[in-house]
Amino acid sequence: MKSIHNDYVELTVAMFRTGILGYGGGPSVIPLIRHDAVTRYNWLNDDEFGDTLAIANALPGPIATKMAAYLGYKLRGVRGAILSVLAHILPSCIAMIALLSAVNYLSGSKVVAGMIAGVSPVIAVMLGLMAYEFAQKAYKGLGKIMGVALFLLALLLLEVLHVHPAIVILLYLAYGTVHFRILARKNQGGTP
């Protein structure tokens, strides 16, 4: 049985690490948070993480901070949420304060521009890998035709009709609730 102290330490270390390594904003931090929450510490499974990510996307505000708050709250309630958010945002706050005086120099530096150009593809690959893993789960749960159809519908809603992403997420959450409730009833031998 893990102690309360260990939960706080693991939460602080994980969120501090994501705060330090999460270069590029919320979307680049999500794979790091997923690694700690799902793989390293087993706080959530992949399905729970996907659900949490969908809900966090639907709510206003920075996604990484919402994910940190949720994980902290899940593990240790309000104190855990506060600790988790502080551990996640402190590295960025400290770095901003420390580097504020050097902004003019760094903005014109070719070295910094090269570092940014080098990091961007890594972030794209990490996000692509996470999307691929979610697509595999959709394929297993929905089948090939339904998975592709729902992907194309989301693409249509987001890119052609310009429906707000929160509305699309809520529609898909509602669909998923109905879909999996029907499957659960069928598996129990009942009728939908």
Contacts of 14 (CB under 8 A, 6+ apart): 33, 36, 37, 40, 41, 71
Given this model, what pLDDT does residue 128 score? 87
pLDDT for 21 equals 83
- Do 59 and 105 have their domain in common? yes
List Cα–Cα distances, 137 to 8, 24, 89, 163, 183, in angstroms.
31, 27, 31, 25, 16
CB 26 within 8 A of CB 18: no
Q: Where among 116, 135, 154 does a domain terminate?
A: 135
Which tokens go with 108? 């014109």
Q: Cα separation of 184 and 5, whole Å?
A: 39
Q: Which domain holds residue 187?
A: 143-192
CB 16 within 8 Å of CB 91 = yes
What percentage of the chain has pLDDT greater than the value 90? 31
> Which segments in the chain show pLDDT lower than 50?
none
Domain identity same for 148 and 130: no
**CA 26, CA 67: separation in Å to the nearest integer?**
10
Q: Are residues 57 and 123 in the same domain?
A: yes
The reported pLDDT for the residue numbered 41 is 92
| Mean pLDDT (the chain, rounded) | 85
Query: How crowded is residue 13: how many other Cβ atoms within 10 Å of its Cβ?
Result: 14
> Looking at the structure, do residues 21 and 75 belong to the same domain, yes or no?
yes
Residue with tokens 């070719």: 110
How many structural domains are present in the chain?
2
